[in-house]
Each structure stands twice: as C-alpha cells, then as structure tokens.
Amino acid sequence: MESLKIALLQHNPKVADVKHNLDKLESMIRKESKKGFDLFVAPELALVGYSPRDLLSQPSLIQAEQDALDSIRRLSEELSVGILLGHTEKREGAGKPLFNSCTLFEKGYALGRIRKRRIPHYDIFMEERFFESARDLPQEPLSFRGFKLGLFICEDGWWEVKKYGKNDLAYPHWTDEIDAQLAKSDVLINISASPYNFSKYERRKEIFSKHALKHSTPLLFSTCVGAQDEILFDGPSFAMNTQGVLEFESKSFEEDVLRVEVSKNKKIRSIDQLPIPLHEDPWDTFHQVLVLGIRDFVRKNSFKKIVLGLSGGIDSALVAYLAKEALGAENVLGVSLPTKFNSAETRSDARKLAENLGIEFREIPIGDLVSSAEKIMNVTPSGLVYENLQSRSRGLLLMTLSAQENRLLLTTGNKSELAMGYSTLYGDMCGALAPIGDLYKTDVFGMCHWIQSHLGSPFPESILTRPPSAELAPDQKDEDSLPEYAILDVILEDIIENQSLNKQALTSFANDVSKLSFDDIVKRLHSMEFKRYQAPPILKVHPRSFGYGWQMPLVKGFNP
C-alpha cells in the first residue's frame, strides 16, 4: 500500500467500566469503518481506563478486560481493519503481575505487541504498584499492511532527565533501545493517557516534536480525554510531520476522532483537512479543563445537580460559573448562608451573581443554628472557635440540603487557603469535590478577570475588586492573618512546585514585603497537613497539587 488511513480514537473512558468503554470504542470504530480506514488507534489502558489504581488487583476486572480484548480481536476480523490499543497484560514469574501493553489486532489475530518500559511512580502516578517494566525485552516496529509502526506508550516518550524526585525516567540505554525501534519505522505512534497541567500542552509538543525530528518520521499522538477523580485529561490527540511541526490536532476536552493519512514517503495529511492549530489562549484551556473536570466528576458519579455556598466572594463566584458551564444553569443551586458578619454588599453580590448566571438561589440565615451551638457549648462569640463554628454550621446545613435534594456539594476553597490551612475542616471544606482547590488565589483572580473580559461579564464588578474576607468576624480581611496573596502565592508556588528552589531570593523578598517569613510559610504549610488529609478530591491543574501527588507525613518534626 502507498498510504495508511488511520483514525485516532480520543475516547472518554470510565475507570473499571470495561463494558462501557468497549461499547464506546466499538461504536466509534463501526461508525468510522465505513470511511475506509486501515487502522484504528485507541489510547493507553483504553478498556480499563486510566487508572483503576488498586482495582488492578481485582481478577474480575482483568478478566473482563481479556474478554473485551477478544471482542476487539473479532471486530478486526469482521471489519477487516487493524485495531491497536492499550491494555493490561498478565505475566508470570518474579516481578509485578502486569505489563502495560499495546496490541495490534488484524483479521482476528494479534499481529504484535509492545510493552511499556518506563513505569511512572512520581507525582500522581503509582503504576509501579502493579506494572512490571519491559526493560529487558527487545522491541521491534510492528509490520502492518507494508508499513512499519514505531509504537511507544506514554512515559516511554518522555526521555529527558526530570528534576529532583522525578529523574527516574532517564535510563539512557532504554532511550537508545526505544530509539533503535523508532528509527526503523515509517510512522511513530505514541499512545498515552496524558494528564493536564497548565503548561502541558506546550511540553507535549516540545517532547514529541523531538522524536519526529530525530527520526525524520511523522508522529501520531493518541490520548484519552475526560476527568478521573482529580486527574484531568484535556487532549488533544495530534499529528506531527517529519520536521516535528504540529500539523493538526483533534478537539480538546471532548471525545473526537483524528483522521490521518500517512504515505510511504512519510507525508501526513488530515483527511478532514484540519488547519494547522493556532496557539491556544492558556486561560481558555485552563477554564475549560475545570469545566470538564466538574462535569465528569458529577456525571460519572451519576449525579445531575450540585449545590454550593455563595459567599459573595470571588472563589465561590468562580466555582458557580464553572459549574453552570459544566452542568447547565438549571442544575446549579447557590446558597447564601449569612450571619451578622456578612455585609449587605456581599449578600447582594451573591444574589446578583446568581441572577447573572441564571442559577437557582436561596438565602438561609444561620444565626439560629450558631446561637444554639453557642449556648450549648458556652462559646465566646469571637475568636477562632466561634469562627469555625459558623463555618461548620454552614457545612452541616449544606450537607443536609445536599442529601435532601440529591445534589453533590462543591467546595470552593483555593490552593492558597488549603496550603495555609485558612479553612475549616468539616466546615467550608465539606464537599464531594474541590474544583478550584489547585488554583492559587492569584489564579482565581486571573481566571475571573479573563472570564469577565472574554465571556460576557458574568461577575458583579465588586466581586472582582473587594478585598478577600471570610466574614467570620467584624471587618475581617484575609490579609489580617495572611500575607497579601500576590506575595504569598509567589512563595507558595516555589515551595510546593519547585522544592524551594528559589528560597534564597524569596527569603529576602519575604523579609522586605511579607508579614510571614519564607520559613514561617513552610512551617505553616506543613503544620496544616491534617486538614488536607481529610480534604475532598481536588482537580489537578498545576505540576504539583494536594491530593494523590502530595504524600506528606502527618506526624513530623520538619524544620526547614
């Protein structure tokens, strides 16, 4: 053959729901097969989803996947097409029980298989709990209809030495072995389950561009899309030419098929005549991936409706906006739960916001509940105990409402608050999901201003300009007890994302302008671990988020 028509299937799997995932892939393949494709490519672990985590220890899941693979095999025969997809593979003997593999089916046969070498176990990844590295296995390109396919799985394409705590991916001889295989290929195909972070789109292009360029061979990148717990798969799948230049890509944030024709002389073209993609606005991506995260979390958990507390502040305003985008205004309920400390202005802003968004709004004053607890426990009506009591009264009422109306409760805390423990456990931390729990406060400002200027000014202007306040005491401001967020966030980001790489410079910075020193911030961050241990799942958007990728001890004597 002079060319191969290839369809990359960017599906949105549900973890451990093999039947659902198989049905989805089958129907995509059946629909597309009428268009004369030679080869269908589905992402890493396409049938079990990424990642079943410890469910990989369940023999029934592995068996269901085996059966589904057999359906795929028969489908390749029925439709006379090639189908290539990622799956687990049982193995015997010393070592871990599974490989992370990729098999090519055609005419009812498994034509060939490659296995993942680099098994990630940093950040959110824990593949080493189950997957053995294929480090000692020689791997060759697979032959398919006269083409040599150079296959590699996700992490095997990420070759550079990574930074402290993550440079486990850099066995140079593995890179040589992978290169030896890719060098013999007519087209490179990487199947992935590639999670989002703020700069990941650019990083993926940069990394995979190097592979294409090094081998002067076109490259296809196939990934899944959708959210799984805290992990967001943004897509897109894409195609690069022999120069490593991005030629075209699928849609992001939704299921899509990327249709490609690759010729013997290593040219690629888009069957749909897709244009060369423009560099996207990162704020646009950033807000869309959160919308996807909320939608998938709520719907994959079989809920339709959500509720959240609306304080009149910027955090809950952002979550309300994103939830409306994700689920439709009719499925979002915002509740204001005022005390005497909530100003007329914030109460009115909460109501105006709900009107602007077209979401349902209720006001439930909490004074009576707080008074009742105050009397029972003889609480002094000021100070931290009293502040937490207000927050917990709100949590209790919102959880009651959540159960009464079968609405998932979203929590509205941000990363700066979670880092500093500026939040109440079992109070404002109540909720099934923390959609902006990985956004620093300055990210929240930035995203809201971007939304305000690009997406029809949904926010009452005063929400964007008022100094942040928890309104749990008279005239309280966040910056009474925390450094200004513009300062705090620079320091937090260095501590959390950069292992305090810029500590020296930021220490003098903090000395000059911050009410807490660099080391004080480190100490407070770590002393608040007990709150984060019981926090809801957080949608991950930064290289290092609280949650699966932040495994810190609770009991410790760490002194920076």
C-alpha pair distances (Å), 183 with each of 146, 156, 550: 16, 15, 38
| Closest to 269 measured CA to CA, from 2, 548, 522 | 2
Cβ-proximal residues to 302 (8 Å cutoff; 6+ apart), any chain: none
Least distance (Å) between residue 538 CB and a second copy: 11
Rounded to a whole number of angstroms, the minimum distance from the CB of residue 41 to a second copy is 23
User: Is the CB of residue 317 less than 8 Å from the CB of residue 352?
Assistant: no
Task: Give the shortest CB-528-to-a second copy separation in angstroms.
Answer: 13
Q: Which of 5, 24, 32, 44 is catalytic?
A: 44
147: left (phi over 0), alpha (psi -120 to 50) or beta: beta
CA end-to-end distance (rounded Å), the chain: 63
* Nearer to a second copy among residue 64 and residue 191 (C-beta): 64
Bond prior to 27 in cis (omega within 30° of 0): no
Catalytic residue flag (residue 107): no
Distance CA 427, CA 22 (A): 41
Nearer to a second copy, 58 or 481 (CB): 58
Would you state the structure tokens that stand for residue 234, as one six-digit string?
Answer: 């943004």
**What is the closest distance, in whole angstroms, from the C-beta atom of residue 286 to a second copy in the complex?**
21
Q: Between residues 244 and 431, which has the closer beta carbon with respect to a second copy?
A: 431
Residues 25 and 9: beta-carbon distance below 8 Å? yes
- Catalytic, 116? Answer yes
Q: Report the C-alpha gap between 13 and 181 in whole angstroms.
A: 30
Task: Give helix 200-215 / helix 172-183 axis angle, nearest 10°.
Answer: 60
> What letter would DSSP give residue 306?
E
Q: How far is the CB of 310 from a second copy (least distance, A)?
A: 17
**Dihedral sign of CA atoms 251, 252, 256, 259 in order:** positive
Q: Rounded to whole angstroms, how far apart are CA atoms 552 and 68?
A: 38
Question: Does residue 151 come out as left (phi exceeding 0), alpha (psi in the -120 to 50 range) or beta?
Answer: beta
Q: Given 5, 24, 116, 305, which residue is catalytic?
A: 116
Beta carbon nearer to a second copy, 450 or 550: 550
Active-site pick, 5, 24, 106, 154? 154
Nearest Cα residue to 398 out of 468, 473, 296, 311? 311
Instruction: Give 129 or 251: the residue with its C-beta nearer to a second copy.
Output: 129
Do 500 and 391 contact (CB within 8 A), yes or no?
A: no
Nearer to a second copy, 186 or 493 (CB): 493
Least separation in angstroms between residue 543's CB and a second copy is 13
Looking at the Cβ atoms of 278 and 555, the one nearer to a second copy is: 555
Can you tell me whether residue 334 is helix, strand or coil?
A: strand
Answer yes or no: 430 catalytic: no
Give the C-alpha distances (Å, rounded to integers) separating 524 from 82, 363, 511: 56, 35, 16
H-type helices in 80-199, by residue range?
172-183
**Residue closer to a second copy (CB basis): 247 or 296:** 296
Distance from C-alpha of 503 to C-alpha of 500, rounded to nearest angstrom:
5
Distance (Å, whole) CA 220 – CA 345: 53
Q: Is 452 exposed, middle or buried (0-12, 13-18, 19+ CB in 10 A)?
A: middle
Smallest separation (angstroms) from a second copy to the CB of 314:
25
Instruction: Specify the residue, 139 or 393, whose C-beta has the smaller distance to a second copy.
Output: 393
Ramachandran region, residue 57 (left: φ > 0; alpha: ψ -120 to 50; beta: rest): alpha
**Beta carbon nearer to a second copy, 80 or 406:** 406
What would the two tokens of residue 557 be? 């004597």
Active site residues: 44, 116, 154
